[in-house]
């Protein structure tokens, strides 16, 4: 009789443990949804490229002594990351000349901001970026 009580108790505890673990798993996975990172990219490659070019050209023209230089740098890195993340793995896009030209310009700008965070963009880099961004914009409009 005592043996049956221990078996019954063991079965009840086992089921309670399984229920508790299942409930904890549900709360963990369903109670804390993961949110996708906010992106300003629309999915329209042409529109996004033109928009990124305009935004980055405005950032390039920011004066060296601007009090918002840290905010501007963060905005540039955010736009670059969004754009590259959205289009780097898309076969129909990443093989176009406009994308490779954009990627070259974006890598140069991001590289400067990552390695020389406190320094403004040098004039020769600004000139190169403006040229490459303009070329990429013309190419994407011609490709579409």
CATH of the domain at 91: 1.20.58.810
Is residue 100 one of the residues assigned to a domain? yes
Q: CB of 105 within 8 A of CB of 136?
A: yes
Is residue 91 one of the residues assigned to a domain? yes
Alpha carbons 52 and 137: distance in angstroms, whole number: 9
Percent of the chain residues past pLDDT 70, beyond the cut:
85
pLDDT at 13: 72
Token look-up 């011609």 returns 142
pLDDT at 35: 44
Those residues whose C-beta lies under 8 Å from the C-beta of residue 17, and which sit 6 or more positions away, are none
| Per-residue confidence band for 34, with pLDDT thresholds at 50, 70 and 90 | very low
The pLDDT tens digits for 63-78 are 988 898 899 999 999 9
Q: How many domains does the chain have?
A: 2
Sign of CA dihedral 83, 86, 88, 92: negative
Alpha carbons 92 and 105: distance in angstroms, whole number: 20
Token look-up 């798993």 returns 25
Those residues whose C-beta lies under 8 Å from the C-beta of residue 53, and which sit 6 or more positions away, are 102, 133, 134, 136, 137
Find the domain containing 87 and state its range.
Answer: 45-143
Does pLDDT of 57 surpass 70?
A: yes
Alpha carbons 35 and 38: distance in angstroms, whole number: 9
Helix (H, G, I), strand (E, B) or coil at 136: helix
Is residue 112 one of the residues assigned to a domain? yes
Does residue 25 sit in the same domain as residue 61? no
The pLDDT tens digits for 84-109 are 999 999 989 989 999 999 999 999 99
Those residues whose C-beta lies under 8 Å from the C-beta of residue 60, and which sit 6 or more positions away, are 121, 126, 129, 130
Is residue 39 one of the residues assigned to a domain? no
Q: What is the mean pLDDT of the chain?
A: 86
Token look-up 């963990």 returns 28
Give the DSSP H/E element, type plus range, for residue 119.
none
Does pLDDT of 32 surpass 60?
A: no
A 10 A CB-CB count for 96 gives: 18
């Amino acid at each position: 009789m005592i043996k049956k009580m221990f078996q019954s108790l063991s079965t009840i505890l086992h089921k309670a443990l399984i229920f508790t673990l299942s409930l904890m798993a549900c709360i963990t996975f369903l109670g804390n949804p993961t949110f996708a990172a906010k992106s300003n990219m629309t999915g329209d490659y042409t529109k996004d490229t033109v928009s990124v070019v305009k935004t980055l050209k405005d950032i390039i023209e920011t004066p060296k002594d601007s009090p918002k230089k840290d905010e501007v740098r963060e905005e540039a890195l955010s736009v670059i990351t969004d754009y590259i993340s959205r289009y780097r793995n898309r076969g129909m896009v990443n093989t176009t000349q406009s994308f490779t030209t954009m990627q070259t310009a974006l890598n140069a700008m991001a590289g400067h901001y990552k390695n020389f965070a406190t320094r403004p963009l040098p004039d020769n880099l600004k000139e190169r970026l403006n040229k490459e961004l303009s070329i990429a914009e013309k190419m994407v409009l011609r490709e579409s």
